[in-house]
Amino acid sequence: MRYADGVASTSYVGPGRIGNWWSPVEPPAPTGIPTCKVAWRGKNGQSDNIGVFVTGFNVERPDVAVEEIVLDAAKDGTRWFLIGANYCTAPVFFQPRETSFGIPDGWGAGAVSYALVEGLAGVKDVGRAFDRVLLAPRWAATKVKRAGVVIRYPASEGYVAYTYRYTQRGISILCTGCAGETALEVLVPGSFRVGRITVAGTAVKHSIRTVEKSAYVCILLQGPGPHVVRVEPRRP
């Protein structure tokens, strides 16, 4: 780009900036924002899959008019095939694809989501559309003292939501959702000695479930909530 004041700037077109017009495939976007898109697909006498890409270059000096745009090809016989161009001062932006690409966003997404949702966050649908839920937050296994979790099915609008807090006064959980019944199993830290358990300020009966060296405080919640649950430490 040559500007009106005689200054020039250069942008290079290479891998990642544009794709092959034979069997066009949009290149991966490491930053999450694509640098180009397939603008048109068609066929010719030799292939049923050819295409044209659209790409863009930001004007580095938007306060100075662009006087000329020069397209310079490599000296190995490469040619430019340019269908059209336009000019504006807005930054270049291509909408990211709705489907993910790569690992773990793509192929490993199921395992990653399972480990986070049912493992650490501890939300498990044991019925249909979250009408019955096992809620077993395991934040005590980490250094996390505060967490907020919302898991929702867009199709049915079934959901579970909760906040988690861990202080010297104990563990507090505010949970809600569309479940008629929620089995709450709260992982407590190894040094934590369980005292009183309250729901909305009222003491309730509970049980302790152990898994190897881990201990879970277990209670049953009825109705969608919201439920305010506190796990208090045992006082000396």
Q: Above pLDDT 90, what percent of the chain?
A: 58
If you write DSSP's letter for every residue of 13-40 in order, what string do you get?
A: --BTTB--SBS--PPP-TTSS-SEEEEE
List the structure tokens of 105: 């966003």
- Say if residue 216 is exposed, middle or buried (CB neighbours under 10 Å; 0-12, 13-18, 19+): buried
pTM of the model: 0.56
Average pLDDT of the residues in 13-32: 82
Q: What are the structural domain ranges in the chain?
A: 1-98, 109-233
The per-residue pLDDT for 18 is 84
Average pLDDT of the residues in 97-126: 78
The answer, yes or no, to whether residue 164 has pLDDT greater than 90, is: yes
Residues 27-50 have pLDDT tens digits of 877 777 888 899 999 999 999 999
The per-residue pLDDT for 135 is 97
The per-residue pLDDT for 74 is 84
Residues 201-222 have pLDDT tens digits of 999 999 999 999 899 999 999 9
Average pLDDT of the residues in 68-78: 87
The per-residue pLDDT for 59 is 85
Q: pLDDT-derived band of residue 103, with 50, 70 and 90 as boundaries? A: low
Q: Above pLDDT 70, what percent of the chain?
A: 95
Average pLDDT of the residues in 99-106: 56
Average pLDDT of the residues in 63-81: 87
State the average pLDDT for the chain: 89
The answer, yes or no, to whether residue 147 has pLDDT greater than 70, is: yes
The domain 109-233 is placed in CATH, from the list 3.40.50.2000, 2.60.120.1130, 2.60.420.10, 1.10.357.10, at 2.60.420.10
Beta strands in the chain (DSSP E): 2-3, 36-42, 50-55, 66-68, 123-125, 132-135, 146-152, 159-167, 170-177, 181-188, 194-199, 202-203, 207-211, 214-222, 227-233
Q: pLDDT-derived band of residue 106, with 50, 70 and 90 as boundaries? A: low
Q: Name 53's bridge partners.
A: 38
